[in-house]
Chains A and B, each alone.
Chain A
Amino acid sequence: MTAPPLYWIRKDYLRMKTALFTTATLVLLILACAGIVAPGQSFTATPPLTITVMAAASLSESFQELGRQFEAQHPGVRVEFNFAGSHQLAQQLAQGAPADVFASANQDQMDSAVRAVRVAGSSVHIFAHNQLAVIYPSNNPADLVELHDLGRPGLKLVIAAQEVPAGHYSLEMLEKASQDPSFSPLFKEAVLQNVVSYENNVKSVLAKVALGEADAGIVYTSDVNDQVGQIAIPEALNVTAAYPIAAIQDSAHADLAGAFVELVLSSAGQNVLQKYGFIPVTP
């Protein structure tokens, strides 16, 4: 009478053992693969020194190249980047996020890092300038030709949220245009009517336009790539963004942080920035 239940219990027990064994093997396998495929990650020894650079999203490409240069100049040092909207980075710094260098897309966010006592006001340097550009998907679905076209009803425009420097500058540019005699005074309103999304950082604006979901977007000239077309903004209306950089004053590697800032300001660093569409400060 007792045999059948015991038999079932034993079978279940064996099944559980097999399941546990299989799961454990799989987990170990994945961990092993991760260790082999990505050496230098958590499972093997990390390089002795890592510096963290918090940089505005618009600096992604140029700073990654600068990071490689820095690593070549300082063997054994790794540069880790945290790219995001400058507001987000400033907020993270204010909340005590560990970092060694902060590069912002505008002065306001650098000021807020200074207020949070993470950056010494005297150590801030302007390292690059940037301007705005209107972009459209490669097939230009809305047939954009000039800046005036942004006010055309029914256009789908994506810009950065005004809390992000790029969005702030975009609004400033539209305001300037509205006051210009060659534009309608209602130009800004007409353009804002067409906004379908306020993105959290300028790279999302680029992505939505490059994907063809939006007819147009406003980004920095440094963001323009070969996946999108560009409409020039008249020089008089364009806004010039100044990018400040500073070493974090409580950095654990103050010397390396300072060296990274120096590299960005050096002529080699300025060349890299120019290559990615920025306006260098030391021409």
Chain B
Amino acid sequence: MSAASPGLPRRRFEVWQLLSLPFILFISIPIIALFLRITPANLWATLQQEGVQQAIRLSLTTSLTTVLITLVFGTPVALQLSIRQGRFNRLLDSLIDLPIVMPPAVVGVALLVAFGRRGLLGDTLTLLGISLPFTQAAVIMAQTFIAAPLYIKAAKLGFSSVDIELKKAAAMDGASRWQLFRFVIAPMSWMALLSGCVLTWARALGEFGATLIFAGNFPGRTQTMPLAIYLGFEVELNVALTLSAILILISFVTLIVVKEFLHSRVETSLAANDY
């Protein structure tokens, strides 16, 4: 009996491990294949190209701007979703989820139909002297539309996890709404906000379909890395492979760093709670 019982869970664990193998292979083989096609010399030579550098610079600036915009305009939405309940908020919640499941090409067309020159707001924007398609603003709008919901969802979960009793206590001590957010809610959920930001950033970095349709393709202005990869695939495979590798590296390293950082934070806070 005593010999069998430790053996049983171990075997079940192995079965799970075996069953998880096909999916792990499915994800890792294409990524490994991509890196196997790149030689350091090629990578270096491609990185020297002006077009490649432009694409990398543009991708970094637009995606980071997207994160900033998301922080400013997404946080109130997340707060609202975490505080209120009811039918309207469930509807709002689904609305925020929608961009995650919408095909990016559909987002691109929708943005054109809304903000394009002949779009719903086209006349108003023209009167104001604003023309959005084919500009960097269009790239950022496409990225924000698609990537911001990831932050909002993460932030909402973070805000919701703050104990209601704590908020009540702070309110009873006379904390204003801003103080409540600044000194109670934000410090207790900042890890969720950070991981939400990283997800949004990584998704914005990879945005392709909506950008291509709404912002077009102009080197240095609207040609982000995924667009350069698409055009590079048709012309020069080296450019496509190099940029793909860089994108994967950036995303993977960021995800690992943030996960490790968050993990260690969780560990220490758990340890602190124990004592």
Q: Which of A21-29, A63-71, A206-214 contacts B (4 or more CB under 8 A)?
A: A206-214
Task: Kindly list chain A residues whose C-beta atoms are within 8 Å of the C-beta of B234.
Answer: 85, 87-88, 91, 163-164, 200
Give the Cβ gap from B25 to chain A, nearest Cβ, in Å: 22
Q: Do A163 and B231 touch (CB < 8 A)?
A: yes
Q: A85-B234, A88-B233, A197-B222 are in contact. Are A212 and B118 (CB under 8 A)?
A: yes
Give the Cβ gap from A205 to chain B, nearest Cβ, in Å: 10
Q: Which of B59-67, B166-174, B211-219 contacts A (4 or more CB under 8 A)?
A: B211-219
B134 within 8 A of A: yes
Q: Which of A154-172 contact B (CB under 8 A)?
A: 156, 158, 161, 163-164
Task: Kindly list chain A residues whose C-beta atoms are within 8 Å of the C-beta of B24.
Answer: none
B203 within 8 A of A: no
Q: How many A residues face the partner with a CB closer than 8 A? A: 22
Please tell me which one of the listed residues B117, B217, B231, B235 contacts residue A213 in the complex, with CB atoms under 8 A apart: B117
Give the Cβ gap from A144 to chain B, nearest Cβ, in Å: 16
Please tell me which one of the listed residues B112, B117, B217, B233 contacts residue A161 in the complex, with CB atoms under 8 A apart: B217
B196 within 8 A of A: no
B116 within 8 A of A: yes
Q: CA of A198 to CA of B237 in the docked complex: distance in angstroms?
A: 19
Task: Kindly list chain A residues whose C-beta atoms are within 8 Å of the C-beta of B215.
Answer: 197
Q: A87-B235, A156-B134, A212-B117 are in contact. Are A197 and B112 (CB under 8 A)?
A: no
Q: Closest chain B residue to A141 by CB distance?
A: B117
A195 within 8 A of B: yes
Q: Closest chain B residue to A139 by CB distance?
A: B118
A100 within 8 A of B: no
Q: Closest chain A residue to B131 by CB distance?
A: A156
Please tell me which one of the listed residues B116, B216, B235 contacts residue A197 in the complex, with CB atoms under 8 A apart: B216
Q: CA of A137 to CA of B117 in the docked complex: distance in angstroms?
A: 12
Q: CA of A156 to CA of B135 in the docked complex: distance in angstroms?
A: 12
Q: Do B216 and A158 touch (CB < 8 A)?
A: yes
Q: A200-B217, A200-B231 are in contact. Are A91 and B117 (CB under 8 A)?
A: no
Q: Do B218 and A197 touch (CB < 8 A)?
A: yes
A223 within 8 A of B: no
Q: CA of A163 to CA of B217 in the docked complex: distance in angstroms?
A: 13
Task: Kindly list chain A residues whose C-beta atoms are within 8 Å of the C-beta of B237.
Answer: 91
B158 within 8 A of A: no
Q: Do B116 and A213 touch (CB < 8 A)?
A: yes
Q: Which of B65-109 contact A (CB under 8 A)?
A: none
Give the Cβ gap from A113 to chain B, nearest Cβ, in Å: 13
Q: Closest chain A residue to B212 by CB distance?
A: A200
Q: Closest chain A residue to B240 by CB distance?
A: A91
Q: Which of B212-256 contact A (CB under 8 A)?
A: 212, 215-219, 222, 230-231, 233-235, 237
8 additional A-B pairs beyond A197-B216, A213-B117, A213-B118, beta carbons within 8 Å, are A87-B234, A87-B235, A88-B233, A141-B117, A196-B133, A197-B222, A199-B217, A200-B217
16 A-B residue pairs with CB within 8 Å:
A87-B235, A88-B233, A91-B234, A158-B216, A161-B217, A195-B218, A197-B217, A197-B222, A198-B216, A199-B216, A200-B234, A211-B116, A212-B116, A212-B118, A213-B116, A213-B117
